[in-house]
Amino acid sequence: MSSDEKISIEVYNQGVDVADSGDYQSANAVSTKATELNPDDALGYFNSGLAYALSEQYDKAIDNYTKYIVLNPEDAEAYYNRGISFYYTGDYQLALKDYDKAIELDPSNQKAIDKRERVYTFVNNTLTITLGESTFSGVEPSCREETGF
pLDDT category at 123 given cuts 50, 70, 90 is confident
Write down the pLDDT at residue 128: 56
Same structural domain, 39 and 60: yes
Sequence-distant (6+) residues with CB within 8 A of 107 are none
Average pLDDT value over all residues in the chain: 75
Which residues constitute the domain of residue 101? 75-149
Contact (Cβ atoms closer than 8 angstroms) between residue 98 and residue 79: yes
Domain count of the fold of the chain: 2
At which of 39, 73, 107 does a domain end? 73
Residues in the chain, how many?
149
Same structural domain, 81 and 63: no
Q: What pTM value is reported for the model?
A: 0.70
Contact (Cβ atoms closer than 8 angstroms) between residue 41 and residue 8: yes
Write down the pLDDT at residue 149: 32
Distance (Å, whole) CA 6 – CA 111 = 34
At which of 73, 96, 117 does a domain end? 73
Write down the pLDDT at residue 31: 67
Same structural domain, 87 and 135: yes
Mean predicted confidence (pLDDT) in 84-100: 95
